[in-house]
Amino acid sequence: MTALAPVDAGLVRWYERERAALGTDSRPAEVLDAHTHVGQNDPDTMRCSPAQLLEMVDEAAARAVVFPLHEPNGYRGPNADVLAAAAASAGRLVAFARLDPRDDPLAEAQRGLAAGARGFKLHPRAEQFPLDTPALEQVWALADEQRLPVLVHAGRGIPALGAHAVDLCARHPGVRMILAHAGISDLAWIGARAQELPNLYFDTAWWSPADLLTLFATVPPGQILYASDAPYGRIPSGALSTLRIARQSGLDDEQIRLVLGGQTRRLIEGEEPLDAGPVRADGVTLAVDALLDRVATFLIGGLAQVFRQVSGDEMLALARLACAVPEGAQQAPHCRAILELLDARERLLARVPQAADPTPFVPGMYLLLLALNIARTPAVPVPDALDLA
């Protein structure tokens, strides 16, 4: 099993301070990640064992919903493995059964529930099906009857599926549908419909601050669930990013606690979800700082190259230059934090073999993504020093 490269200890301490500040009754805020995976056969080469996922969960003192990665040979065995891992995790993992519409999905759903699954996962891209496929109608009816969460891939690589999601939520009000990856396939319009459909949820397992800011500006906060997409993402850095977007969007501490895990816990335990109020009054109008937006633009250019597994050094160098604001400028603390993150990534690349990273094609990516988040959340303070290793 490939070793797991730990998240920088300084970021973990920052994450722990934020959780403590949000906590109640002398306990840190609950973090329940709505979207993680395990598996060894995904065609995209991603690999993650239950033991590795538990390392990620434990480094964040969190809990997580888990389901199989893409399994070309079917999900009966992988679902059983996920259920066994959850049963042995002392409550740290909560299993969802992954379903393929071409492989008797109702029977697999019923097997999963009997063995302890708390919901289902559907991946229209990997299994190549539309969300309204007739083979799933009995699954939707089952989820409606038992008020179960169903998490649906709604990210890159698929045509729009929002119209089907809206129709299904309207016809099956007991279903708690969760559109993964901020519902980016339909985010241009679906927020307004989500305001009319309290059983339509979205997770934050996505990297772009522009999309996440749009999500928080158009979808009620009680319908947004924190998620990391582990092992593609990591829990502490993802939670920090979600928390900062939530604060930039004007959410209060009680609403943020619900986003980070409170609402997900209610969904998996079959409780009535909480109404956390309407979307922000000023809708999609969100502050952009011109100097920090320059930094963000260069970071996005570098990230685009790194995503393609080529060097983003030139764009990242320009991002560094864009951070050279005067010492007393209001942007200076954010620029200092961004430079600390870029420096930490350089040190990570120098000392950690690429094969030791659970996402070997993007080593240290979480540091770049958090830097981008800081550039797009100018109204949210940063620590005086990140104290990165």
- pLDDT band for position 358 (cuts 50, 70, 90): very low
What is the pLDDT of the chain when averaged over all its residues?
Answer: 93
Residue 336: per-residue pLDDT: 97
Residue 3: per-residue pLDDT: 55
Which of the two residues, 356 and 182, has the higher pLDDT score?
A: 182
pLDDT at 1 over 60: no
pLDDT at 281 over 60: no
Query: How many C-beta atoms lie closer than 10 Å to residue 106's C-beta?
Result: 16
Q: How far apart are CA 50 and CA 53, in angstroms?
A: 5
Question: What are 229-269's pLDDT values in tens digits?
Answer: 999 999 999 999 999 999 999 999 999 999 999 999 999 99
Range 196-220 average pLDDT: 96
Q: Name the β-bridge partners of 149.
A: 176
Residue 268: per-residue pLDDT: 98
Residue 78: per-residue pLDDT: 97
Question: What are 43-76's pLDDT values in tens digits?
Answer: 888 899 999 999 999 999 999 999 999 999 999 9
pLDDT at 355 over 50: no
Question: What are 101-131's pLDDT values in tens digits?
Answer: 999 999 999 999 999 999 999 999 999 999 9
Q: What is the DSSP string of 98-115?
A: E--TTS-HHHHHHHHHHT
How many percent of the chain have pLDDT more than 90?
84
What single-letter amino acid sits at 206? W
Residue 280: per-residue pLDDT: 77
Question: What are 286-316's pLDDT values in tens digits?
Answer: 678 999 999 999 999 999 998 887 889 999 9
Range 352-367 average pLDDT: 62
Contacts 24+ apart (CB under 8 A), 164-169: 164/130, 164/131, 164/132, 165/131, 165/190, 165/200, 166/190, 166/193, 166/197, 166/200, 167/132, 168/131, 168/132, 168/140, 169/197, 169/199, 169/200
Range 202-228 average pLDDT: 96
Question: What are 126-152's pLDDT values in tens digits?
Answer: 999 999 999 999 999 999 999 999 999
Range 10-35 average pLDDT: 94
Which of the two residues, 358 and 135, has the higher pLDDT score?
A: 135
Residue 222: per-residue pLDDT: 98
Residue 160: per-residue pLDDT: 82
Cβ atoms of 178 and 201 closer than 8 Å: yes
Q: How far apart are CA 49 and CA 57, in angstroms?
A: 12
